[in-house]
Amino acid sequence: MKLLEDRIKRDGKVLEGNVLKVDNFLNHQVDPDLMFEMGEEFARLFRGEGITKILTVESSGIAPAILTGLQLHVPVVFARKHKSLTLVNDMYTSTVYSYTKKVSNEIAISKKFLADTDKVLIIDDFLANGQAVAGLIDICEQAGAVIDGVGIAIEKTFQRGHELIAEKQIRLESLAKITAFKDGKVVFESDQEA
Ligand code: 5GP
């Protein structure tokens, strides 16, 4: 998605450890117009699939997930993050290691909001090593829900996440694909195609 790639080129900052900082339009300050366009694109990609629910993780997945839910007219559920969870019967839980924060969190979704009749679209801001998405897949499997696909705003294709999703034969759509960081600059898959 050119609009998102242009915005990353303009405002993204490449940090140590292959981390892209995008806090002025996605991770802290949020640009609603850009989120709207991203929601439209995800909806275009997944419309007609019979999706009944969108799942994401708090907090940065929420904005793109909501704008997609707005277009597809389905509810959006965000998994809540906790440092640790004592066994709770009314929640599906999974453990997720955070790539950027280097800590493990439990993520949890209430059993009220996910059922075996659901067809789910998972949305998240970044795909790196795939731990966040793997946690959401695990929760869907616990609930017996069908996963229709995964929609990612920014994928770093040189990390392991997409392999993990491909192994599960789940459809993956990423709006911006970063193949490398070179001399502090972002290289997109579309740059190589051009
Ligand atoms: P994963 O679980 O795929 O390893 O990482 C996904 C999560 O880590 C995302 O939801 C995002 O919060 C965070 N993350 C991973 N890589 C980056 C990055 O390069 N920049 C930012 N801002 N967040 C990242």
**And the tokens for 106?**
């439990």
pLDDT tens, position by position, 9-64:
999 999 999 999 999 999 999 999 999 999 999 999 999 999 999 999 999 999 99
Residue tagged 């993050």 (tokens): 81
pTM comes to: 0.96
Annotated binding residue 128? yes
* Cβ neighbours of residue 10 closer than 8 Å, sequence gap 6 or more: none
> Ligand 1 in contact with 60 (CB < 6 A)?
yes
Q: Using 50, 70 and 90 to split pLDDT, how confident is the model at 82?
A: confident
List b or e across 31-44, with b for residues whose CB sees 16 or more CB atoms inside 10 angstroms: beebbbbbbebbbe
Annotated binding residue 69? no
| Residue 132 alpha carbon, nearest atom of ligand 1 | 2
Of 156 and 83, more confident: 156
Give the separation between CA 121 and CA 143, rounded to whole angstroms: 14
Domain that holds residue 32: 2-193
Which residues are bridge partners to 177 per DSSP? 155
Annotated binding residue 20? yes
> Ligand 1 in contact with 24 (CB < 6 A)?
no
> Ligand 1 in contact with 126 (CB < 6 A)?
yes
> Ligand 1 in contact with 161 (CB < 6 A)?
yes
State whether ipTM is beyond 0.85. Answer: yes
Please give the single-letter amino acid code of residue 117: T
**And the tokens for 174?**
């990423």
> Ligand 1 in contact with 27 (CB < 6 A)?
yes
Annotated binding residue 43? no
Distance of CA 93 to the CA centre of its chain: 17
Give the separation between CA 110 and CA 116, rounded to whole angstroms: 13
Reduce the DSSP state of residue 84 to 3 states and report it: coil
**Looking at residue 14, which CATH number applies to its domain?**
3.40.50.2020
Q: Using 50, 70 and 90 to split pLDDT, how confident is the model at 84?
A: low
Contact between 130 and 157 under an 8 Å Cβ cutoff? The reply is no
| Residue 27 alpha carbon, nearest atom of ligand 1 | 22
Contact between 69 and 54 under an 8 Å Cβ cutoff? The reply is yes
State how many domains the chain has.
Answer: 1
